[in-house]
Amino acid sequence: MDNMKFYSQLAAPPAEAIKPIQGGNLKGKSDINPQWKIEAMTSVFGPCGIGWKFNIADEKTFQCGDGQILLFLTVALMYHDGEGWSEPVYGCGGDFIVEKNKNGLVPNDEAYKMCLTDALGNAMKCIGVAADVYRGLRDSKYGESHRTEPQASRQTKAATKHTDKVSSYQLAQLQTMAKQKGVDVAGIAQSLQLNNLRDITAAQWAQCMNSLRKRADAQ
């Protein structure tokens, strides 16, 4: 059994799925597009309700002393591995359902949706969705070492990033994705004019991964 099969396929979001946060306490950082997480789950397991599903395992509200009310949801996520359903994978999300701002106490009619999105994302994280971001391998609100580096250093790293060789982990991820999509790995190396796929650069790897994601699965 390949213990990293699903994890590897779900780990790397494309650049367009990582968006800058424009306001609030996390302004200047980035977040992962929640719709991409659903797309990633669907691409690996199939449509929601058929290849993966979830239910609300717990719901709680907490009264704050100033009149604000916090809502917490826990979801149980399950996915189909071809033989049967997995055990539940739990994730928790929270937000204010009544929040205090300059106008006083106001209800948040988006609270349930925001909590559900947060809870699902945390459950999906456990099986590898956007793992590269959470590990700090990509810029995000979870990895901010790039914010403390001198600008010149960041520019130098950015210039060399696309010519760096990929890790064995990334190479395995590409090979797994290619197999799933019915693409010959040797053909990928040949199309890139590489003697060996191990010589693939980070830029070439990212391009190949994006192209493979757009292909239909092999039947």
In the structure encoding, which two tokens stand for residue 140, read together? 């995000």
137 or 126, greater pLDDT: 126
Does 125 reside within a domain? no
pLDDT in tens, 28-77: 555 788 899 999 899 888 999 999 999 999 999 999 888 899 999 999 99
Does 15 reside within a domain? no
Query: Rounded to whole angstroms, how far apart are CA atoms 89 and 217?
Result: 25
Q: How many domains, the chain?
A: 1
Question: Does the pLDDT of residue 116 top 60, yes or no?
Answer: yes
Does 12 reside within a domain? no
Does 102 reside within a domain? no
Does 47 reside within a domain? no
Query: Rounded to whole angstroms, how far apart are CA atoms 173 and 162?
Result: 18
Question: Does the pLDDT of residue 131 top 60, yes or no?
Answer: yes
Domain carrying residue 206: 151-219
Does 58 reside within a domain? no
State the pLDDT confidence band at 153, using cuts at 50, 70 and 90. very low
Does 77 reside within a domain? no
Question: Does the pLDDT of residue 152 top 50, yes or no?
Answer: no
Residue 25's pLDDT is: 57
Question: Does the pLDDT of residue 120 top 50, yes or no?
Answer: yes
State the pLDDT confidence band at 216, using cuts at 50, 70 and 90. low
Does 111 reside within a domain? no
Query: pTM of the full predicted structure?
Result: 0.59
Query: Rounded to whole angstroms, how far apart are CA atoms 32 and 94?
Result: 17
